[in-house]
Each structure stands twice: as structure tokens, then as C-alpha cells.
Amino acid sequence: MRILRKLVYVCCSITLGLMALSSCEGGELYDVNAPDWISEKVDSIADSKKEPEEEVLEGMQEDVYSFGNTDYTSGFWTAFSKYYVVPDGQKWHGVFNLNINPADNTYYKNFALVITNDTDRGGEGYTEYGAYRFDTTNDTLAYNSQWGSHLFFKYTSSTLMLSPVDNLDETVQKLGGKVTLTVDRTSENAFSIKIQNASATKTYKQPYKLPNLNIDKSNTNIRCFLVPEGSYINFLQSNIIPIGGLTSAEDKNPLSMVLQNVPDQVNAGTSLEEAVVGITAVVSFEEGVTKTVTAEELQFTAIPNMEELGTKTLVAIYNKTFKGENCNLPVVANATFEVVEKIVSIQVTAQPTHTQYYYYTSAATEAMTDRTLAFLPEGLKVTATYADGSTQIIDNTKLSFSAIVAKAGTQTVTITADEATATVAVKVAESTVSTVSNSADILGTEDNTTEWWTVFSDNFNVPTGETKSISFTNYTSLANNWSNFAVVLRKADLAEYAVVRADNYGWGAGYDGNASLVHNGTQGDWATWLADMNGAKVTVYVTNCGNGTTDIQAVMEGTSGTSYAQYYLGINKVDMNDLNFALTIEGGHLVF
């Protein structure tokens, strides 16, 4: 070994000497008369040091628009690009400027590419392949830079690695500037993503095609859109015409407008300025561009005036171009609201149908001190008395209700309409728990290659007020955080309420947009937790709370002896008379 090292050293020294001679007059190393093998080697070295050539983007067209707040206040999933539909066998190229807050080095505040089936966000059948963010982090946070059921971190590489401390890393600033993005579906045996700017290139190279997630299997399209967080994007070019069309750099005139957040009722004595303060409008401009504007940018008139009770026609006028200049022809929109007498008092004139609520405390929730249950107003009737002495039953959707303390005994619910209040009493009890067993010993393939949504446990019914528990050993491929068990809430006919995973993520009608839902976990460092889940002992608890909601709790004992918890409290839109659950898994298997 020592002789080999000496020979390598001598050879390297000779090579360096020859390269040094090349700078002398008459040197032959770079001369056309130099030996062929030396010339070829020099050419090879020179080629390796060249900057990689940028891909020539074909068919690019101007698509100039912006999204995200320019003061860097956009939260995740609050601002979106247009939809870009990518057919099978084609590429999508997008070029844009990414503007990152120079005063905020939070590592994840850049943007994410979201890939979905060919359905509008939140529409029926909408399904995501996953989200792919520009930042790439060290092993501790690696899985946080992309997520979803069909994007796997093992196929990702990046030339710029971030190592955040307390979520901060100044390197995130290098992700800003002009960005080129490519989604490539041209290969029959691969799928790839490339995001590149002057400082970083992040690539995803999957050695097989994406599955078709469209309900209509004859439709093989996917959709792509961008979502900024704590940043904003000035889009510039695309080779694919987006839904709604391309946007030129020229200014655009408004064409139409739709009002949003118009109040149903306004108390007598309220000024027009006070009545419209929360209203916004979606303005459509030439070339299919839209923008949401606030009440401050609109001119309002109420017909007839606000001094009289009754129905009013609210007329709104917007007179700006897309760039904020005065336009030649303003756009007008209208809506109606009612001016009513002020409510001075309310009274409960019919008790709610359901007054018995339940909760269950496992090791996952025993430390919670502020746990609550949502009130179910079904059957409730509240009568209002107005300033003029008249009375009327109020629609329950116009009432607000206090949460119920999750503590055994009688609890009081406060009902509010305007500034008037009333109360009802409900009873709360600890749920009884019983164990269920699966008919098969194993769920999924023992080599942990189980694909998503291909295997399910038995369907377990959960009657009102009861809690069902099931225990199993969880095995994972360790590929992703979601390569573990998931719980499916559904009806007996398999219609779903929600799906929740072991890694604090879920979806479904009872999950999405549920402001009362509380979910959290104690996984801590994701890499450590994931390793601990390969052989973890797990118990899942599902509670029918008797108020149209369901609680799911999971207690996980990892292979290192560390205990973890995950809970989802208050999944709503559940028929308490038809509540069932099942287990499923992707990239792993369960042993009962």
C-alpha cells in the first residue's frame, strides 16, 4: 500500500510539472504537436470544468403575473399560481422571479411546486401526488422539503444543502432570483422535476412513471401549481398555456367583478362604511387574469339608503387596471343584504336534540388541560327579541356557540347573537372503551412494498359514546414519514369522512377546513421517530363523541423504548349513527 501511494504521488508530481511547463514559451503540453494522449487528457479535464449547459427551453411564451403578498406576509396555502396542465409525454417549463424576504431566514419560506390530478383544488376527486419545495435540508429535516404519497425523498438531490438552526439558515436567501422549473413526463420509464437558479439546482428523478390518479382513467393529465410562503412570485414565462390563458406584460383592463363576504344582515344604525368593511371582490381582467381587492379599493352605494329597514341592493364599483392605473370603463357588481333591528335579547325556545357528549383520555391526551368538544346545535331553536319589540326564530348558522369543556359532568354552552346571549346545559361523560380484533394476522406485504390504498383491515363499527381500540406492531420501509399506519374513518358503505396518518397529516370532508380540529404529535425529530417505528407497538383509539365528531388517538412505543403520541380531536361531518374505521398502510405492514 505504501509503494502504491508513492507511485501515485510521483505520477501526480510529474503531471503537475508538465502543466507548469505549459506556461513556458515553447512548451508542448497544449501545443498541437503534443502527444495525442496528453491532448485528450487535457481536453477531458477542461470539459469537466465547464459550467453545465442550461437546457434550451422550447416553446416559451410570455406569462406575466404576480401572486403572494409583496410584504412577504403570505402564509402557506393562501396564494397560488395558475394551473398548468401537463399531458403525459410532455414537459412543462416555467420561468419566474422568486422574491424571498431579506429580513427572514426561515429555511422553508420560499415556494413549493404542487402536483395533482386533473381536478380543481378542493374539487370532487381532487388528489395530490405531493408538494416539492425548493429548499433541501440536512437529514434531520430532510423529509420536510417534500411530502405527499407519490414523491419520495430518496430520488431527490440538490447542489445547495441547508442546515437550519432553530428553523433559520441565511443560505435560504440563495434560493431567490430567477428560477427555471421543469416537470418532465416525456420518458415512458421515469418522472422528473428540476428547479434551478444561479445558486442551486434541485432535482427529482423517479425511475418509473406517475400513476394515474384521475377518476376518469382515460384522462392521463396532471396539474401543477406553485404556492409561496413568506415570499412572492413574479411569473414570467411558460411553454404550456395555463387554465385561464397566458398573461402579457401589457396592462389589462377589468372586465367583471364578483363580491365576497357580503353580510346577510346589518343592524339598523350601522353606516355604509361600517357595513362593507370586510367585503372583498374578485376582479377579472383581460387575458383571464384575476385579482382579489379589498373594500378600500372599491366604491359602494346602498339602494335605498341605510336609514330604513329592509332589503338593500349594494352596488360596488372598481375603476383600476391590473397595474392600478385608472381604467377607461369601470366594472360594477351588486349584492343584497338586509338592514334589521338590533337584537336586544335571545331565548332558547327548543332544546338541542343531542345533549349527551363523550370523550376518552388515553396516554396521548392525558397531559391536555384545555381539551374541549364542539357543540352540535341540531334541533336547537333560539328566538330573538328586537329593539322594536318584534320576535323571530334565528337561523342557527347566524349564532355562535362556546366550546364544551371535556370534563365529566354538566357543562354550560353560551349562545351568542350580536351582543345578546343565552345558555343551554349538556352532559359530558367519559367514554367506555373496548377492544376490537382484525380477522387477518397481517396487513400488507412483509417486504414493506405495500402500495397506497391497496390493503385495508376489517371495518370496525363505533357506536355513539363508545371508544374502540386496536393494537398492532407497525413495520415500515423507512422510505418516508408516511410509510406507516393510517386510519380511515368511513360509513358502512365505505364513503369516507377522513383519513389521518401516523405523522400528523390528514385529509377528507371532516378534516379539510375544520377550524375546530385539534391535531398534534410528540414525534420530535422525524428521522429518529421513523427509525423507531420499524417494529413499534401501537394502540389506536377511535371515539364516537356523540356530537357529530370523532376523536382518534394513537400511542406508539418505539423499538428504542421511547413512547410517542398522535391525536386528532374533533373530526367533524360524521354521522354518529354510521361511524366505522379501518386501518391501511403504505410502504410497510402491520401485524396484529
Q: What is the 3-state secondary structure (H, E, C) of 477-536?
A: CCCCCCCCEEEEEECCCCCEEEEEECCCCEECCCCCCCCCCEEEECCCCHHHHHHHCCCE
pLDDT at 299: 97
List the chain domain ranges: 61-238, 254-340, 343-430, 432-591
Q: What share of residues in the chain are helix, strand, coil (percent, to 5)?
A: 10, 40, 45
* CATH architecture assigned to 254-340: Sandwich (2.60)
Place of cell 401543477: 224
Q: Annotate 108-130 with DSSP letters as a single string.
A: T-SEEEEEEESS-TTSTT--EEE
pLDDT band per the 50, 70, 90 thresholds, residue 166: confident
Q: How far apart are CA 320 and CA 30, in angstroms?
A: 65
Q: How far apart are CA 16 and CA 20, in angstroms?
A: 6
Residue 42 has pLDDT above 80, yes or no: no
Residue 40 has pLDDT above 70, yes or no: no
Residue from 521, 458, 505 nearest 149 by CA: 505
User: Which are the contacts of 322, defined by CB distance < 8 A and separation ≥ 6?
Assistant: 251, 252, 253, 254, 285, 286, 289, 291
- What percent of the chain clears pLDDT 70, i.e. is strictly above it? 90
Q: How far apart are CA 546 and CA 575, in angstroms?
A: 9
Domains 61-238 and 432-591 share a fold: yes
Residue 181 has pLDDT above 80, yes or no: yes
Long-range contacts of 245-249, Cβ-Cβ distance < 8 Å, separation of 24 or more: 245/287, 245/288, 246/61, 246/62, 246/63, 246/287, 247/62, 247/63, 247/64, 247/65, 247/287, 247/288, 247/289, 248/62, 248/64, 248/287, 249/62, 249/64
Looking only at the bridges linking them, the beta strands covering 518-521 and 506-507 are unpaired
Q: What is the pTM of this model?
A: 0.62
**What is the widest separation between alpha-carbon atoms in the chain?**
110
CA 350 from centroid of its chain's CA atoms: 40
CATH number of 61-238: 2.60.120
Place of cell 367519559: 430
CATH number of 343-430: 2.60.40.3630
Find the mean pLDDT for residues 88-110: 96
pLDDT band per the 50, 70, 90 thresholds, residue 406: very high
Tell me the torsion sign for CA atoms 490, 494, 495, 496: positive
User: Which are the contacts of 547, defined by CB distance < 8 A and separation ≥ 6?
Assistant: 354, 357, 373, 374, 375, 376, 576
Check: CB of residue 135 under 8 Å from CB of residue 162: yes
pLDDT at 515: 87
User: Which are the contacts of 398, defined by CB distance < 8 A and separation ≥ 6?
Assistant: 264, 265, 417
Check: CB of residue 359 under 8 Å from CB of residue 431: yes
User: Which are the contacts of 37, defined by CB distance < 8 A and separation ≥ 6?
Assistant: none
Residue 473 has pLDDT above 60, yes or no: yes
pLDDT at 170: 96
Find the mean pLDDT for residues 277-284: 93
List beta partners, residue 185. none
Q: Could you read off the pLDDT of 9-37 as tens digits, one per residue?
A: 434 443 444 344 333 333 333 333 444 44
Find the mean pLDDT for residues 287-308: 90
Q: How far apart are CA 126 and CA 117, in angstroms?
A: 7
324 Rama sector, left if φ>0, alpha if ψ -120 to 50, beta otherwise: left
User: Which are the contacts of 35, defined by CB distance < 8 A and separation ≥ 6?
Assistant: none
Q: For residue 515, how many other CB atoms are within 10 A of its CB?
A: 7
The three cell numbers locating residue 395: 337561523
Residue 385 has pLDDT above 70, yes or no: yes
Greater pLDDT, 135 or 17: 135
Range with the lowest mean pLDDT among 135-144, 272-281, 318-327, 417-426?
135-144
CATH topology for the 432-591 domain: Jelly Rolls (2.60.120)
pLDDT at 139: 64
**Helix/strand/coil for 41:** helix
- What percent of the chain clears pLDDT 90, i.e. is strictly above it? 79
CA 48 from centroid of its chain's CA atoms: 41
pLDDT at 143: 65
Residue from 243, 271, 419, 279 nearest 346 by CA: 419
Residue 244 has pLDDT above 50, yes or no: yes
Q: Could you read off the pLDDT of 251-280 as tens digits, one per residue?
A: 989 999 999 999 999 999 999 999 999 999
Q: How far apart are CA 564 and CA 562, in angstroms?
A: 7
**Helix/strand/coil for 565:** strand
pLDDT at 38: 41
Q: How far apart are CA 197 and CA 180, in angstroms?
A: 6
Q: Could you read off the pLDDT of 316-368 as tens digits, one per residue?
A: 999 999 888 999 999 999 999 999 999 999 999 999 999 999 999 999 999 99
CA 161 from centroid of its chain's CA atoms: 23
Q: How far apart are CA 408 and CA 200, in angstroms?
A: 56
Residue 7 host element (H or E): helix 2-21
Q: How far apart are CA 576 and CA 549, in angstroms?
A: 8
Check: CB of residue 167 under 8 Å from CB of residue 108: yes
Q: For residue 158, how many other CB atoms are within 10 A of its CB?
A: 17
Show the beta-strand stretches assigned E in 73-229: 84-86, 91-100, 111-117, 128-133, 146-147, 156-158, 177-184, 191-196, 201-206, 222-228
Find the mean pLDDT for residues 418-442: 97
